[in-house]
């Protein structure tokens, strides 16, 4: 597990350096808005790799998607809105919340039950977000 953490930390550090004062001119100019087209493009390339069962390309395209996540998180960190740790923390909490059949004592019979439960939990989360004051 430590190998993954070390590599992930290295990736986050590389992105910070690319966006730093002495970093890459192109990377420093990017915004959430300017990067959307790349996320869409990379998603299509990932879809193609999956469809073609091209495992080698799949690995590369997953890296490109991860780059997009880290890139957006770095921009958000610079804007003081959130960072990659917050993204990961939010995802961890969501996965635990949406899998009560794994992380608590909720019982399911089949995958249909799991999908229905997921949809209910997601709908409740969305409704709860709307209730929160801005």
- Tens-digit pLDDT profile for residues 49-61: 999 999 999 999 9
Contact of 98 with 118, CB cutoff 8 Å: yes
Residue 131 pLDDT > 90 = no
Q: What is the DSSP string of 33-56?
A: HHHHHHHHHHHHHHHHHHHTT-HH
Residue 132 pLDDT > 90 = no
Contact of 107 with 101, CB cutoff 8 Å: yes
Identify the pLDDT of residue 130. 86
Q: Could you give the CA distance from residue 119 to residue 68 in angstroms, rounded to a whole number?
A: 27
- Tens-digit pLDDT profile for residues 76-127: 999 999 999 999 999 999 999 999 999 998 889 999 999 999 999 999 999 9
- Tens-digit pLDDT profile for residues 3-51: 899 999 999 999 999 999 999 999 999 999 999 999 999 999 999 999 9
**Encoded tokens for 67:** 């780059």
Q: Could you give the CA distance from residue 38 to residue 26 in angstroms, rounded to a whole number?
A: 13
Residue 134 pLDDT > 70 = no
Quote the mean pLDDT of the chain.
94
């Amino acid at each position: 597990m430590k190998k993954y953490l070390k590599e992930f930390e290295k990736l986050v550090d590389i992105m910070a350096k690319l966006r730093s004062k002495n970093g890459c001119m192109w990377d420093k100019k990017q915004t959430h808005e300017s990067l959307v087209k790349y996320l869409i493009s990379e998603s299509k390339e990932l879809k193609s790799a999956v469809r073609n069962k091209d495992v080698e390309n799949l690995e590369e395209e997953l890296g490109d998607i991860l780059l997009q996540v880290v890139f957006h998180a770095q921009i958000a960190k610079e804007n003081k809105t959130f960072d990659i740790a917050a993204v990961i923390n939010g995802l961890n909490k969501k996965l635990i919340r949406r899998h009560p059949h794994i992380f608590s004592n909720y019982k399911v019979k089949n995958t249909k039950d799991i999908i229905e439960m997921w949809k209910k939990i997601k709908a409740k989360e969305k409704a709860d977000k709307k209730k929160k004051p801005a």
